[in-house]
Amino acid sequence: MNILIIGASGGIGLSIVKSAIKHYQNASILATYHHHIGFSHLNVHWIKLDVTNENEIKQLSKTVHDVDILINAVGFLHSEQHKPEKSIAQFSHDLFDKNMNLNTLPSLMLAKHFEAALKASTNNTFYVVLSARIGSIKDNNIGGWLSYRMSKAALNMAIKTISIEWKLKLPHCCVMLFHPGTTDTELSKPFQKNLPKNQLQSPEFTSESLLTLIHHSTPSDSGRFRSFDGTDIEW
């Protein structure tokens, strides 16, 4: 079995790598990073990747003949220079572009260049992209965070559309959007203090929830937007 985890140096991404080692003991795991980390394992091969660079994604795809599970765990919410907008008055092109370039476009480029590798596998395959409930239009009742919301809503539309195309071209592939819940990572730290009690999850809980969901899914589940608890999220 071949597993490719994009954004594996992040809080959730690294935990997915560790869970995959446990769940798929004989798997070959290719994990990409932006900032190098010190974790190593015999079954894990690390490679540096800029997910905003399509040529780098294309070159990586040429080294992978077939893949059974492809997970994109890359995500952006804030930086020292960029904070989520509380109102339209705070909207900026720079923040919007940053969100789209990291939260939306990489998943399209991964689908474009790894379609052949997913098709080459003789097993049921999975293309799983981490999204967020905040990208649900139906669930938007409080507003705010314009750029992040839009990037995730656009991501959801893109992955849903790809799932429809692949039902004909890759009928053995399950394309899935995954809402990880609020997980204790650097991405969520500035916003943790106002969380209700027991709502913050560990990265281990999130990654185990994801791999359990994959284990219990089939190609007939393709195109669904799933929460960490297995429930479906409205678009």
pLDDT tens-place string over residues 126-184:
999 999 999 999 999 999 999 999 999 999 999 999 999 999 999 999 999 999 998 88
- Residue bearing tokens 């476009």: 105
Could you read off the pLDDT of 65-108 as tens digits, one per residue? 999 999 999 999 988 888 999 999 999 999 999 999 999 999 99
Domains detected in the chain: 2-227 (3.40.50.720)
Query: What is the distance between the alpha carbons of residues 117 and 121, in angstroms, rounded to a whole number?
Result: 7
Q: Say which DSSP state 101 is in.
A: I
Conformation bin of residue 3: beta by default, left when phi > 0, alpha when psi is -120 to 50: beta
Beta bridge partners of 33: 48
**Which residues are CB-contacts of 166 (< 8 A; sequence separation ≥ 6)?**
115, 127, 173, 175, 222
User: What integer pLDDT is reported at residue 192 of this predicted model?
Assistant: 66
| pTM, full prediction | 0.94
Of 40, 30, 31, 38, give the one whose Cα is nearest residue 13. Answer: 31
Of 158, 9, 8, give the one whose Cα is nearest residue 69. Answer: 8
